Amino acid sequence: MGIPIKIHISFLLILPLFVFVFSINPYPLGFSEITPNILNYVLSFLTAIFLFICVLLHELAHSYVAMKYGVKISDITLLLIGGVSSMEEVPREPSQEAAMAFAGPLVSIIIGFTLLLLNWILVTLIPSIEGGALYTFLFILGFINVILGIFNLIPAFPMDGGRLLRAWYANKMNYVKATEQAASVGKMFAIFMGLFGLLINPWLIIIALFVYIGASEEAKSTTTSISLENIKAKDIMSENLISVPSSFNLEELQKFMLEKKHMGYLVSENNEFIGVVTLTDVKKIHPTERIAFKVIDIMTPDVITIPSDANASEAIKLMSSKQIGRVFVVEDGSIVGVLSRTDLIRALTFLKE
């Protein structure tokens, strides 16, 4: 579907843990009875790999539906906690968000029940395979996928059920209020889960903390995005454009940054802007070597811009997707200002007062 699939370093930490758990767990959720040990570990490894393939299919289901509604998917990343689809924005139409949110759990549940049904058919036809490697492999994948699908339907952010709940609320109230209501339900659920975890299982406390933080961040992120939708980039940008010559060496650039108190600048050459240089670029060069480098050697040639009449929420999405601290504002083909994260935070502060 044209979506880059990435693997975070944390995924490489959790994979051996899953292999270990499957290798020591008894039937039907593990292969501890399987001998020799090498076969046990091979089966455990394959099960862990296929489990995360199923997680990837879960995320692809979200992404496929989102793309049908015109949402751009930057990538899907496999993490310690599972998979995450990076979307430019979540559909605001309640029915669209509900469809997108439900697609993932639906795929997981379909995969789970299909594998469990296949197991039942195989055992009916060949009773001797029950308890064997193939039966256990299919049972583990089927069972976990069903649990994964059901767990994700819990009405709490960042689970898919939280988005389904928000979509339901959004039919009755505005989007910000719907998000706050859904986040409140998620936080209450997290508190009860944490208390239950104190009595039953400490792992539930960790999950509860994850859910509580996820609900809080979703509410904050949505409020921020919607608050900035009514502000134009030109209204909060800094018009005082400061540039540095491409011939500056890095020591001169550092002194310039210290004097002007900004961390990013346009780079000029022959009265034209040819790139952007930031403090992050400078830090990539060892202090003892900076005298030998010029701005043109470390700058980024791509100047990320937005139109002056674009709303500020587009700027924050662009900064997040590009992982940058500022964008430049253009009008009639010319750069007329710069909009930084600091400008956005300042605007939000004024809006709250």
The DSSP line for 3-54 is: --EEE-HHHHHHHHHHHHHHHHSPTTS--TT-SSHHHHHHHHHHHHHHHHHH
* CA 226/CA 105 separation, integer angstroms: 28
Active site residue 59: yes
- What is the mean predicted confidence (pLDDT) over 290-305? 86
Averaged pLDDT, 313-319: 82
| pLDDT for position 9 | 86
pTM metric for this prediction: 0.75
For the stretch 18-28, pLDDT in tens is 899 999 999 88
Predicted pLDDT at 352: 63
- What pLDDT, on a 0 to 100 scale, did the predictor assign at position 322? 76
List the structure tokens of 286: 């060892």
For 196, phi and psi rounded to 5 degrees? -65, -35
Residue 328 has pLDDT above 80, yes or no: yes
Q: What is the CATH number of domain 233-352?
A: 3.10.580.10
Spatial CB neighbours of 19, under 8 Å, sequence gap ≥ 6: 41, 44, 45, 48
Q: How far apart are CA 286 and CA 90, in angstroms?
A: 41
Domain locations along the chain: 5-153, 173-230, 233-352
pLDDT band at 353 (very low <50, low <70, confident <90, very high): low
61 — pLDDT class (breaks 50, 70, 90): very high
- Given the residues 59, 97, 218, 314, select the one marked as catalytic: 59
The per-residue pLDDT for 110 is 97
